[in-house]
Amino acid sequence: MNKNVFRMGVLAAALAAAMASSTGFAAAVSPTGNPARMNLTALQAQPSFDRFIVTYRQGSIERANHAAAVQAATAALGRAGLVRATRTAGAPASVSMRYQRKLAVGADLLRTSRPLDRTEAAALIRQLSIDPAVAYVVPDVLRHRVRDLSAAKLLQPQTVTPNDTYYAKYQWNLKAPDGTVTTGGNANLGGTSVNHAWDLSDGTGVVIAVLDTGITTHVDVDTSLGDAGYDFIVDSFVSGRATDGRVPGGWDTGDWTTEEPWLSECTDADHPPEDSSWHGTHVASTAGAEITNNALGMAGIAHGAKILPVRVLGHCGGYDSDINDAIVWAAGGHVDGVPDNTHPAKVINLSLGGPGNCPASDPAAQAVAAANALGAVVVVSAGNENIDASQASPASCPGVITVASTGITSRRAFYSNYGSAVEIAAPGGGVYPNDGSSGTPINDGFIWQALNSGTTTPVPNDSDYGGYAGTSQASPHVAGTVALMQSARLAAGLPLMTPAEVLTTLQQTAHAPSVAPPANRGIGAGIVDANAAVRAAIGEDDGGGEAIVLGNGVTLAGQSGSAGGSTVYTLQVPAGAMALSLRTYGGSGNVSVYAKVGAAASASDYDYKSARPGNSESVVVARPAAGTWYLTVVGETAYAGVSVLGSFRAPR
């Protein structure tokens, strides 16, 4: 053996032992570590790790001194059995530690001299966690865009009015869920009523930060803040640049993968080589970057807002350490080494994620908390793994609005994550007929927006459009709606809503899906209703002009009204349905109900009525006509706490 190599190994081992005492404690090897100070759930995300985010306690030497942090971490390497004086044939190489940088949330990024497999990484994390100076430690995970389930290219256009060329034909997701049959032959029950919200707001005065792959120039996309954005990817391997380091501009230079050696770590049987996704352009366009009312292409939700592109995803994905810094920066917080953001965002969209849960002590959660404190609402996609979103990050971080995906029928998309971590749902695409999980993809199964035709690098000022489906497409619907809400507040001279107020308003105004999810596959409060949310944000009642959509078999509780007032509800009934029942029950006061198919009912114009004393009213139709059924509830006296239920037996 080379004597110098031997001496270096001995010195490293001796140094590790010395450091254990120099940090003020003599730690025994702990096989379990300190569970309260570590998170191992994300280790399933990838086969190896060489980057670790360590949060040292306030007042500790390690938090203020980089050398002390490396010293303490090297001691942990020794306790984990990763520092070896000699190396036997076939044994893994000894590991050393080096300092990378301080993160915006105050944590430190440390890097090992070689990648550690999951077992080694877990051992190191456990040993780091028993250091009294350590508050929390997690692996720095390489996150991915929430991979779109499928993609489709746009067909040749048909000139339609009003405004944008493809709006009428393709963008069911922005329209009211009124059962209108689309050009694809499907009844729209899953839309978001953005078209009605535009009567009040277009997003002017609000900045939406889209943390994604960046943005590309496009003839129909507003990229005016492209240069004001930032590329937060440090590693040249991920960014595709020649050297490490962050650079100005939120431009997407491509995220393609190949089987070439420099990108071979990204490809395997489950992840074959891919062309560049241009994912950030598609997401940003849905939220609002798409230029609207220009008789060209598509429409964007908050098209009067400004989109700040922030590149955090490149080849193979993007590291938590970069994403977390970008969250803080996008909201207007300071990040060392990066000029402060001159266009702080009040809405941040993250259509990205991966395995692992995210407690409040996680650096990702701390970054979200910092953004919330600066007034930014952070919207996150739930993920496309068809699992409980509590096991996905950042979907499970406290402080975010986590969005599940639904299709045109309002059914939960079969791929969408679900559960208590989900706050609300939005259109993400159902892909297959009736929002099923198989068959031939249909146009109405996708969310259509601007893309780029380049296979690796972008085509400048392109005119490409395409359809994606996934929770990546659902979250910008909510982000755009939040921008509409805040813009309406500004126009009315009202202060901006806090992130907590925004969430409450979104949930209170969401409409129930017509196809209710199973009890163990919840998608939050319902599907986002942009029109109702904007009106509620400025305290404006819609005057009864907008009906409340009922889901088949889904009880809408807590309804109230004044004497003489009326509220209209709708239920879409398909052909062949049987035993339609429209009911009210419970609560206090006295109501009467009037029902009609095809148009709103009233006390003077109805097909059916029920006007018994109290609130227990019922209309039953054995063989109902197909179409939109309207139920009008009239307060004979003031009433409160009443439940409304519409149900039918679906055709076989």
Please give the C-alpha separations between residue 133 and each of 55, 83, 126, 193, 358, in angstroms, as whole numbers: 9, 21, 14, 52, 21
- Alpha-helix residue ranges (DSSP H) falling in 332-406: 363-373
| Residue 510, C-beta contacts closer than 8 angstroms, at least 6 positions apart | 424, 425, 524, 525, 526, 527, 528, 529, 532
| H/E element, 112 | strand 108-117
Burial of 260 (0-12, 13-18, 19+ CB in 10 A): exposed
Whether 487 sits among the annotated catalytic residues: the reply is no
CB-CB contact of 552 with 512 (8 Å): no
Q: Reduced to 3 DSSP states, what percent helix, strand and coil does the chain have, rounded to the nearest 5?
A: 25, 25, 50
Quote the CA–CA distance of 452 and 456 in Å, as a whole number. 10
First to last CA, the chain: 77
Burial of 39 (0-12, 13-18, 19+ CB in 10 A): buried
Quote the CA–CA distance of 223 and 416 in Å, as a whole number. 30
Residues 472, 514, 566, 610: which is the catalytic one? 472
Whether 282 sits among the annotated catalytic residues: the reply is no
Residue owning tokens 């991966």: 354
Quote the CA–CA distance of 444 and 440 in Å, as a whole number. 12
Angle at 540 between CA 480 and CA 552, to 5 degrees: 70
Neighbours of 87 (CB within 10 A): 14
Quote the CA–CA distance of 379 and 387 in Å, as a whole number. 19
Residues 218, 279, 315, 511: which is the catalytic one? 279
Cis-peptide, bond into residue 613, ω within 30° of zero = no
Q: φ, ψ for residue 579 (rounded to 5)?
A: 55, 55
Neighbours of 599 (CB within 10 A): 12
Burial of 426 (0-12, 13-18, 19+ CB in 10 A): buried
Whether 279 sits among the annotated catalytic residues: the reply is yes
Please give the C-alpha separations between residue 371 and each of 146, 319, 347, 399, in angstroms, as whole numbers: 22, 18, 9, 9
- Alpha-helix residue ranges (DSSP H) falling in 130-209: 167-170, 194-197
Give 19-22 contacts, CB < 8 A, sequence gap 24+: 19/71, 19/72, 19/74, 19/75, 19/78, 20/75, 20/78, 20/79, 22/71
Residues 212, 252, 388, 444: which is the catalytic one? 212
Question: DSSP assignment of 212-252, as one string?
Answer: ES-B--BTTB--TTTTTSEE----HHHH-SSSSS-EE--B-
- Alpha-helix residue ranges (DSSP H) falling in 240-336: 279-284, 320-330
Cis-peptide, bond into residue 394, ω within 30° of zero = yes
Q: DSSP assignment, residue 262?
A: G
| Residues annotated catalytic, as ranges | 212, 279, 472
